[in-house]
Structure 1
Amino acid sequence: MIHHATRVSRRAFLLAACAATGTAMSLGACATGIFPFIPDHYTFSQQQVQDAVQRKFPYRRSMQQIFDVSLTNPVVTLQPDRNRVAVRLDAHLESPLMQQPVSGAFTVSSELAYDSASRAVVLRSPSVDGVDMAGGAAAYAPQVGAVAALAATQLLDNYPVYTFKPDQLQFAGVNYEPGTITILTNGIRVQIVEK
């Protein structure tokens, strides 16, 4: 009997398990490739991304021994039309190359990717979308943009914004992994597929 059970196909096993649960689900609904207790996707919120990014700030660093940069107050927004996550940061720069310290803000956007080694959804290839320097500081926008791009790459590239627990990606001896990542207006949807 046990030997026979090991030969039962995974699909038959899933159908039998669905029937055994006694739920109101139809067998057709259970016959998907995902076990009924494993969702076909996970969605995490903008606030969860905000909380993850917030842990990196405030950030202060000397860049190339020329600029002292301070980055604070990250604000995360979702850009479903571009399938990217944006982070707006307040920036304060001091440098012997400038007559006085300058302050402003810049926005960095990033795509999301899954890093299997850490089981995390990470920011990938961030780039500076815009620099906002007011008044006399506007003349320094190119320098701020260059420093911001360097800081963003060092600080946010491959930074995890959501980490899956092992039990979220395994059930009944079957391993799953994130697939397509889609930015929505109210969260981030990660497809879960069988390995």
Structure 2
Amino acid sequence: MIRRAPRAPSSTPGAARATRRAFLLAACAAAGAAMSLGACATGTFPFIPDHYTFSREQVQEAVQRKFPYHRSVQQLFEVALTNPVVTLLPDRNRVAIRVDAHLASPLMQQPVDGAFTLSSEMVYDAASRSVLLRAPSVDSVDMQGNAAGYAQQVNAVAALAATQLLTNYPVYTFKPDQLQFAGVNYEPGTITILTNGIRVQIVEK
């Protein structure tokens, strides 16, 4: 009698993903024993760990390109915004941007200076492969001089600036090869604001 060898059990999708992950880890290790896994993840073999973190300084550099900002609002205010400073707000999972503000208006006896603090959440846009600022809001308006008598109008100017400056503005764009390795496609998932950077979860498609 001829006995048939037992058939190997079929692999499940979870097992296949685990196998691919093990292969990627082995490939990363083979690339250089002296490299840490984190270093490997940011070099030749991207995203073998399950996340990628970019810094506050990278956000600062991206936001800086939007300034200086000059606008005329309803022919009543001339607004100039300069010197953006990015702050991370992990307790709110948002990014704050403080800007110096200069307002001039025929309604006021003389131009006034002060600051706006704007904040935004961060989302991933698959079409552009970019992490974007979205849903901006005005956290505070601090103006000197006689601007206090026009608080409603000044707040409207700040809200307009927040919308025009921050809505859907990309602060980090992934390269195509950063989201693919060894035939496996990846995509960003949950975005978490930390005290020292922005952590983007990387998941297999």
- TM-score interval, normalised by the smaller of the two chains: 0.7 to 0.9
Are the structure 2 counterparts of residues 14 and 184 from structure 1 closer, same or farther at C-alpha, using a change threshold of 3 Å?
closer
Q: Which residue of 2 aligns with 1:92?
A: 102
CA distance in 2, matches of 1:70, 1:22: 52
The one-letter amino acid of 1:141's match is A
Give CA deviations for 1:140-180 in whole Å, capped at 9, x if unaligned. Answer: 33322110101110121000111111111111121111100
Task: Identify the residue that residue 117 of structure 1 maps to in structure 2.
Answer: 127
Per-residue deviation, residues 72-99 of structure 1 (Å, max 9, x unmatched): 0100000000000000011111222333
| Equivalences for residues 1-195 of structure 1 within 5 A | 9-15=16-22, 18=25, 38-195=48-205
Equivalent position amino acid for 1:102 in 2: V
- Number of matched residues? 179
- Aligned residue type for 1:44: F
Change in 2 beyond 3 A, CA 1:18/1:187: closer
Question: Hey, what's the Cα distance between the residues in 1 that align with 2:74 and 2:155?
Answer: 15
**Structure 1 segments unaligned to the other structure (5+ residues):** 1-6, 25-34
Tell me which structure has the larger Cα radius of gyration.
Answer: 2
Deviation at 1:122, TM superposition (A): 0.6
Distance in 2 (alpha carbons) for counterparts of 1:130 and 1:86: 11
Pairwise CA RMSD? 2.4
Q: If the length of structure 1 is used for normalisation, what is the TM-score?
A: 0.82
Whether the 8 Å contact between 2:98 and 2:116 is mirrored in structure 1 is: yes
- Code of the aligned partner of 1:119: R
Query: Match of 2:122, SS?
Result: strand
Conservation of the 8 A alpha-carbon contact between 2:21 and 2:48 = no
Q: Match of 2:67, SS?
A: coil
Verify the 8 A CA contact 1:103 1:137 in the aligned structure 2.
Answer: no
SS in 2 for 1:69: strand
Q: Percent identity?
A: 77
How far apart, in 2, do the equivalents of 1:51 and 1:22 lie? 33
**Alignment partner of 2:188: what SS?**
strand
TM-score normalised according to structure 2 size: 0.78
**Displacement of 1:43:** 0.4
